[in-house]
Structure 1
Amino acid sequence: MNGPQTPVSQEQSRPTPPSTPRPVNTVLGLSQAEATRRLAEHGRNEIQREQTRSPWAVLLEQFRSPMIALLLGAGGVSALLGEYADALAIGAIVVVNALIGFLQEFKAEQALVALRSMTAPRARVMRDGYAVQLPSAEVVPGDVLLLEAGDVVAADAHLLEAHALATNEAALTGESAPVDKAARAVAADAPLAQRSDTVFLGTAVTRGTGLAEVRATGMRTELGKIAHLLASTSDTETPLEQRLAKVTRTLLLACLAVVVLVAALGLWRGQGWMTVLLSAISLAVAAVPEGLPAVVTIALALGVRRMAARHALVRRLQAVETLGSTTVVCTDKTGTLTTGTMEVREVWGTHSHAILFASAACCEASLGPDGKEGTGDPTELALLRAALARGIRREEIERERPRVMVRPFDSETKRMSVLRADGALYVKGALEVLLPRCRADTNTVSASRAARELAGRGLRVLAVAQGNGPEEENLELLGLVGMADPPRPEAVEAVAAARAAGVRTVMITGDSLETAQAIGRELGILQPGEDAAERIHARVTAEDKLRIVRSWKERGEVVAMTGDGVNDAPALREAHIGIAMGRTGTEVTREAADLVLTDDNFATIITAIHEGRAIYENIRKTLVYLLVGNVGELTLMLAASLVGLPMPLVPLQLLWINLVTDSLPALALVMDPARSELLARPPRRPDEPMLGPAQWRYILMVGTLEALLVLGVFIWADPAHDVDRARALAFSTLVFAELLRAFAARSATRIFWEVGPLTNRLLLGIVIFSVGLQVVLYELPAARGLFGLGALHPRELGLAFALGLLPVTLLEMTKLVRRVARG
């Protein structure tokens, strides 16, 4: 008889908690006194976490924008000049914007705290000759860990004993299949995935039992070394932040130049300092789109809410838009592109029912009541699920043909056998081990060729045989079972959608190259004629992942990186956007990420890319809409100053326009529904500015048109005779022009009724509400006094509304003319 025999009735001793201690084995372990001394010397067995941002840090971060700094400056000067209404209005803008951003980001921080609290690992160790259970943070070097299936390893430890022991090291290496362990030394410089004599912190025991002496704890473990790599990475500024920063710098420079010019002209004309400062504030207010920070924040916050409904938790608001700029997605395989569970993909042999029956009869694992979840080795669970699909139940086999003898799987023998009460012996294991023990027939001749073919398709091959009596000799080879971690069905569609959207999908995994390429071809990541070395990376380490991400970034790509293991965390931090798995992801990975997928699904990433592109489109058209108004106001104020006219608008009137009649429609514009064709386009070039030459020409042309219209109205109203009335008429004309222009802003090519007025009912309601609000201002004496408005007759308000229709009418007619010209 070959290999150790284990009577079915005998079970491994299970360590007991300290309340009922009893000796286990001959290994005494450390004394409690020595353990206490070593804990003080080496510190607690914990991976250092990133410092969670305090509420104050999250709040202060909302004030980093140069535009916010400019607004605070304008508000401060207004207060010094006694323009308290202006100062309060500007302060309200800044506070509202900061609160919106703070609430969204602080909410994400709290959600991560909740995710972190879901795990409270404990460990079983030998202390003073007894098995005790204690928090894993109290494990010290020299402790002896007791391991069995279902345990999470509490530290890096060298094996003293191993009985059919296997661990899942996916969190550390990315390898999806369990790794067999043995208590025999391997080379100290062996790759991590080949250190079969060591178990590692954070990995899970999938089968067997063992004893292991702790060699490293905390940050000295392999997981700790990977966590150290996080220090060499840095948060990357998002494309949206970069583009908005460029627009802000342009606005600041333009504002500064105009303010200096007007101030110089005022002083040259002999105007007093107070008048010059008031003019400067007016120009600053006119030049800066005060509502832009709030509009961008709200647009991203809405994206956060929509993403949460689609199983994605956003840690940073800008991360939503960054996905819309993504050109390369580097993704882990196990659990993201695949289901994360082994599955029988193919059965080779004459009688597949007999093969699956023998597989179920030679198992230690057990399925749960639902037939899906269970306990035991993932490979055996896959066999039991395949057998159950054919109506074969292990519990019925156990009841009808009880086990008499079991030879457990061992990494040396590479096989397992079970003798049943009817004399039948069922054996499963590696084909090269079983073939010499099988009778030569047609199956055995062609089995090697079939095994090579299955392995070439990335399948893990298991041979199944049957015999009579306890001896593992003269067996009949029943066939082969090919298993793999199958692709998620929705991931195939998602990869195709990414390809159609011009986004490269790059698989990075710790699995073998054959398995990775087979899955890559099945998913559509790797297609005929494509360079496999660029699309598929196998057997990678944490350093390799970091190098791959940096390589894509150096080529000018916008990179998203997904992962669940600690070995993914440095690359997640280095990428433009890091995406962690919420279900299977480690704590270090979640803390390094910008986005956490609560369903661990690659398809969610493609949904986020669509969402990000829609948000970018809406932000850009909203920015154009706002800047047209600001350029119009600035041109109006500058032109009036150059020709020596009184200021057509005072600062509070400009703030009213920018906040009420500009920002409210802008809020509706950023909520425009996402168009389905966005994913059919290639991604934006990483160097593409937020506003290109076409957008700036449009802004200058339409802004100048509005300025000339309002300046003409102001001059016609005779400011020399009644400046308040002239300002009131110019004020209303500009308000109505900008409100109505919002309908044309929804599309650069389609007429507003083609876009569909009712597809954005919020915009329609806001425009109607704002027009009514503007009319009410003239009916309230207190409001007229606050804004410095003269009384207007209803006919004059009607004239202002009619004149306000001119810009939007001209814009819509231009779209029609261009369409006709293009044929």
Structure 2
Amino acid sequence: MRLSPLSVDEALASLRTGRDGLAPAEAARRLAEFGPNRVEELARESLLAGFARQFSHFFAIVLWVGAALAFLAERYGPGQGMSTLGVAIVGVILVNGVFSFWQEYKAERAVAALRRLLPQTVQVMRGGALEQIVAVDLVPGDVVVLAEGDLVPADCRVIEALGVRVNLATLNGESLPKARTAEPSQEDSPVLARDLLLAGTSLAAGEATAVVYATGMQTEFGHIARLTQAAGEAPSPLRREIARLSWLVAFLAMGLGVAFFLIGQAMRLPLIESCLLAIGIIVANVPEGLLPTVTLSLAMATQRMARRNALVRHLPAVEALGSASVICCDKTGTLTENRMAVKRLLLGRALLEPAALADRPELAARHRQLLLNAALCHNVKANRAGGAAAGDPMEVALAAMGRRAAGWERAVRLDEIPFDTARKRMSVLCDTPEGRVLYCKGALETVLPACEAVEGDAGVTPLDDAERARLLRAEDELAGSGLRVLAFAHAVIGAGGPPTDDRGLTLSGLVGLEDPPRPEVPGAIARCARAGIRVLMVTGDHPRTALAIAREIGLVTDASPRVVTGDELRRLSPAQLQLALDGRQLVFARVSAEQKMTLVEALKKKGEIVAVTGDGVNDAPALKTADIGIAMGLSGTDVAREAADVILLDDNFASIVAAVEEGRSVYENIRKFLTYILTSNIPELVPYLSFVLFGIPLPLTIIQILAVDLGTDMVPALALGAEKPDPAVMTRPPRARKERLLTWGLVARAYLFLGVMEAVAAMAAFLSVLARAGWHRGEALASSDPLYLQATTACLAAIVVMQVVNVFLCRHPRASSLAFGLTGNPLMLAGVAVEVTLILAIVYTRPGAWLFGTAPLGPEVWLQAALFALSMWALDELRKVWARRAGGGRGPERPANGSARARSPGSTP
């Protein structure tokens, strides 16, 4: 229902109500008909569905299949440890799923603690009596009474208004409060209509009586919430890459399994043995430790990001934020402090900073009338408890400045002419130590015609046409800087003289105010530029204000950047919009919720990974559509927070940049431990290949493979996932949307270089133990033979020793491992200690021998493995030297611990 431009009486009649409100019985009937005044929550996943999701994604399915195959192999070939492997894989799935669910559940609990969106109670007229009711019980036709600071509970038509100004930031991003009156408005947009109060906004000043015409999902607030629910949720880049990796692992394992089955058949092995061999190969090639390592790495990153004031609701969003190539950022409250501050003063002919009044007492004394005006002409209410004053943010800032004038506290306000949209000024009559004085402030175009004199450096002089023209030019210059300009005037009222603000005033000066940028933002914008991240301001505020702030924070440096308004955006076709987004420096102003979502979709079509920040209801659809939605935790609305992936606990844009740094580090760290984990797949695979092709005893059992994948490799891999961000990570451009987590370079290094060396060391250890005992090829060894147990133990030990060195090699794909100090990552030292302790326990304790089928080793085996490990280290260091030179002779970087390191292109480990 649209009540503009109806008169008050027509609006009441159309809703079949009156100024005394509805009768209680009629209100109850309407509540049953229209339903509660509640915005439906975004469709949220149930706890059970969220829990089940942790066990049904594709990688989990791959592990489920691996476990099933292990149990199948145990049934037809018992005694090979396959049942233990199956139980271990199921355990990995369960532990990982429970941990992931718990991480997301904790984040959701934190979000729930932030919920405080619509008012809980409201003053309403029912049957001529003022009652306080729960806001959800409001119905169309109710007459509500609102005061300064109240949240508007539903869409309402104003009946009476006294100095009402409403804060619309949650709906359209507008930083300055707007006046509202009972006079019919001709505006088409409900947000701009001067006679309407919309749900989710708040009264910055004044008092109002209004009739409710829309509740719940029928409000503008509800319309945006519905738009948010309709918006599709974009999967994170990491989710897409893990899904792709899962398919690759599945196809690789199945392919090798089928190949070995065919090899077995070609060698005339019994069918059951060929099947068991294939199953063993498939299970051996599924990296059981990858899923928990990824989850734990992301969880640790969320803790680091939380310490930097970014709450992550979904674990994959950690990495997704690091891949962002464009940040579409709201202005009010994110780039700015969401408070008004005096920026410039025009006193006489001098344009001054407000600090000049404090530094020069004689200047403050000369312009005392302007300061008294600022201190007295307002409706700000002081907080007796010592907190912030309540009222229009602009008036709060002016009152704080004005209280520098001596004697303001002794003035008594006698009368007031409130601000309204027609007069565009406010006046108060005060009894001051100098007598009765009328103080007036407002827009220069309405104050100037009432002035006959102007206060300057030489005192009060008549106001002529030249002076009027100069003042109008000065106002235009201040407004061009994005400032809200107010004129201040006063008049001394003689005894018995009638107070009036339409003639005989003396202009005291002009004051320019702004919502100041956060001090950390310019540095954060500069970091984004160095990191190749494009920042686009997308705001509902005035174009001139948006451009001024963009210049001040360094977002815009061109002499004539393009400012695209919502009206222009509406006229652009999808193709024109995508071409327009190629512009180097753009600012979007007066943009609606649908248009913000359209912008996000256009950027995604261009191949960008888009992060969107926002706090208002208007931001929620774009937050949900974006690759990464970032909502404000302090000033944000509940709808915005529900739609977001990340919540800024301090509402600060600089925290986004810190979180991006963490996210980029996560992606690099995942590649590091992928290299580490995949390397051990080759020495686990080659023993099976040797067993089939060369007819030797199986050098490594299934249960020993499990000891590596879920035992010795886990903590070192986790340590790689906890590496500190590389200082150079924010000097490289974001990776392309099509860039893969698992690259051919990574696979080649893990499988064809490091893995081959580990396989050689493992097979050498196995065969050397057999050779020293006098074993000959073709001689059968029982699975319980002490020699066989010792030989397989040597193979296992060699793999673990090689992995101890490999974890240091995997810290960087190009920088020398010597460039990193041992104290840079304490978890890595702990991981190596755990790895060594585990292999010693497996080799030298009875429980270890019983569970993993091992036997004690002599020192010569360890020495041989150490020599192979040293050789691997030397060869990879030579490869890194070649890689640095092939990369163009780049000089060393500084790693996280402060040592020199080679620059990484951020693409292929």
When normalised by structure 1's length, the TM-score is 0.92
Mapping of 1:499-578 within 5 angstroms? 499-528=529-558, 530-533=561-564, 535-578=586-629
Query: Conserved in 2, the CA contact under 8 Å of 1:173 and 1:192?
Result: no
Query: Conserved in 1, the CA contact under 8 Å of 2:191 and 2:198?
Result: no
Deviation at 1:781, TM superposition (A): 3.5
1:374 aligns to what SS in structure 2?
A: coil
Partner of 1:20: none
Deviation at 1:370, TM superposition (A): 8.9
Partner of 1:259: 257
Partner of 2:393: 378
2:844 aligns to what SS in structure 1?
A: coil
Query: Conserved in 2, the CA contact under 8 Å of 1:75 and 1:87?
Result: yes
Deviation at 1:76, TM superposition (A): 2.1
Q: 1:496 to 1:526 in 2, by over 3 A?
A: same
1:577-627 residue CA offsets vs partner (Å, 9 max, x unmatched) = 111111111111111111111111111100100010111111111111111
Deviation at 1:28, TM superposition (A): 1.3
Query: 1:255 & 1:263 partners in 2: Cα distance?
Result: 12
Query: Conserved in 2, the CA contact under 8 Å of 1:282 and 1:650?
Result: no
Partner of 1:462: 486
Partner of 1:6: none
Asked if 1:401 corresponds to 2:411, the answer is: yes
Query: 2:883 & 2:633 partners in 1: Cα distance?
Result: 50
Deviation at 1:32, TM superposition (A): 0.4
Q: What amino acid does structure 1 have at the position aligned with 2:53?
A: E
Query: Conserved in 2, the CA contact under 8 Å of 1:732 and 1:801?
Result: no
Query: 2:527 & 2:862 partners in 1: Cα distance?
Result: 52
1:614-668 residue CA offsets vs partner (Å, 9 max, x unmatched) = 1111111111111111134224433442334333211111011112222221011
Query: 2:299 & 2:140 partners in 1: Cα distance?
Result: 47
Query: Conserved in 1, the CA contact under 8 Å of 2:416 and 2:428?
Result: yes
Deviation at 1:356, TM superposition (A): 2.5
Query: 1:384 & 1:713 partners in 2: Cα distance?
Result: 83
Deviation at 1:778, TM superposition (A): 2.5
Query: 2:753 & 2:844 partners in 1: Cα distance?
Result: 34
Asked if 1:714 corresponds to 2:766, the answer is: yes
Partner of 1:133: 132
Out of 833, 858, 868, the residue aligned to residue 803 of structure 1 is 868
Q: What amino acid does structure 2 have at the position aligned with 1:365?
A: V
Q: 1:687 to 1:177 in 2, by over 3 A?
A: same
Query: Conserved in 1, the CA contact under 8 Å of 2:119 and 2:151?
Result: no
Query: 2:147 & 2:206 partners in 1: Cα distance?
Result: 6
Query: Conserved in 1, the CA contact under 8 Å of 2:117 and 2:637?
Result: no
1:17-37 residue CA offsets vs partner (Å, 9 max, x unmatched) = xxxxxxxx9821100000000
Query: 1:234 & 1:121 partners in 2: Cα distance?
Result: 31
Partner of 1:48: 40
Query: 2:821 & 2:37 partners in 1: Cα distance?
Result: 61
1:70-111 residue CA offsets vs partner (Å, 9 max, x unmatched) = 222222232342533222221222122112211110101111
Q: 1:352 to 1:77 in 2, by over 3 A?
A: farther
Q: 1:598 to 1:339 in 2, by over 3 A?
A: same
Q: What amino acid does structure 2 have at the position aligned with 1:675?
A: D
Partner of 2:164: 165
Deviation at 1:175, TM superposition (A): 0.9
Partner of 1:185: 184
Q: What amino acid does structure 1 have at the position aligned with 2:428?
A: V
Query: Conserved in 1, the CA contact under 8 Å of 2:36 and 2:216?
Result: yes
Deviation at 1:433, TM superposition (A): 0.7
Q: Which moved more, 1:566-575 or 1:111-120?
A: 111-120
Q: 1:658 to 1:520 in 2, by over 3 A?
A: same
1:316 aligns to what SS in structure 2?
A: coil
Q: 1:553 to 1:420 in 2, by over 3 A?
A: same
Q: Which moved more, 1:443-452 or 1:778-787?
A: 778-787
Partner of 2:112: 113
Asked if 1:238 corresponds to 2:236, the answer is: yes
Partner of 2:376: 361
Out of 28, 52, 59, the residue aligned to residue 36 of structure 1 is 28
Q: What amino acid does structure 2 have at the position aligned with 1:460?
A: R
Query: Conserved in 2, the CA contact under 8 Å of 1:153 and 1:199?
Result: yes
1:458-479 residue CA offsets vs partner (Å, 9 max, x unmatched) = 1111100011221221211111
Query: Conserved in 1, the CA contact under 8 Å of 2:419 and 2:425?
Result: yes
Asked if 1:148 corresponds to 2:147, the answer is: yes
2:613 aligns to what SS in structure 1?
A: strand
Q: Which moved more, 1:197-206 or 1:244-253?
A: 244-253
Asked if 1:604 corresponds to 2:655, the answer is: yes
Query: Conserved in 2, the CA contact under 8 Å of 1:124 and 1:134?
Result: yes
Out of 765, 777, 780, the residue aligned to residue 842 of structure 2 is 777
Partner of 1:476: 506
Q: Which moved more, 1:60-69 or 1:415-424?
A: 60-69
Q: What amino acid does structure 2 have at the position aligned with 1:361?
A: L
Deviation at 1:515, TM superposition (A): 0.6
Q: Which moved more, 1:708-717 or 1:480-489?
A: 708-717
Partner of 1:438: 451
Out of 458, 477, 480, the residue aligned to residue 453 of structure 1 is 477
Query: 1:149 & 1:820 partners in 2: Cα distance?
Result: 68
Out of 643, 668, 671, the residue aligned to residue 722 of structure 2 is 671
Deviation at 1:782, TM superposition (A): 4.0
Partner of 2:525: 495
Out of 213, 218, 229, the residue aligned to residue 227 of structure 2 is 229
Partner of 2:899: none
1:525 aligns to what SS in structure 2?
A: coil
Q: 1:743 to 1:552 in 2, by over 3 A?
A: same
Query: 1:417 & 1:245 partners in 2: Cα distance?
Result: 66
Query: Conserved in 1, the CA contact under 8 Å of 2:712 and 2:834?
Result: no
Query: 2:879 & 2:627 partners in 1: Cα distance?
Result: 39
Deviation at 1:46, TM superposition (A): 0.4
Q: 1:117 to 1:584 in 2, by over 3 A?
A: closer
Q: What amino acid does structure 1 have at the position aligned with 2:391?
A: G
Unaligned runs of 5+ in 2: 1-16, 76-81, 349-365, 453-462, 494-498, 565-580, 782-786, 890-909
Q: Which moved more, 1:341-350 or 1:262-271?
A: 262-271
Partner of 1:19: none
Query: Conserved in 1, the CA contact under 8 Å of 2:346 and 2:510?
Result: yes
Give the RMSD, CA atoms, in angstroms. 2.2
Query: Conserved in 2, the CA contact under 8 Å of 1:75 and 1:86?
Result: yes
Mapping of 1:339-358 within 5 angstroms? 339-350=337-348, 353-358=368-373
Partner of 2:361: none
Query: 1:408 & 1:327 partners in 2: Cα distance?
Result: 49
Asked if 1:592 corresponds to 2:643, the answer is: yes
Q: What amino acid does structure 1 have at the position aligned with 2:809?
A: A
Deviation at 1:732, TM superposition (A): 1.3
2:825 aligns to what SS in structure 1?
A: helix
Query: 2:871 & 2:136 partners in 1: Cα distance?
Result: 72
Counting matched residue pairs gives 793
Query: Conserved in 1, the CA contact under 8 Å of 2:633 and 2:647?
Result: yes
Deviation at 1:273, TM superposition (A): 4.4
1:467-505 residue CA offsets vs partner (Å, 9 max, x unmatched) = 122122121111111111111111121111111111111
Unaligned runs of 5+ in 1: 1-24
Query: Conserved in 2, the CA contact under 8 Å of 1:285 and 1:654?
Result: no
Out of 408, 418, 427, the residue aligned to residue 440 of structure 2 is 427
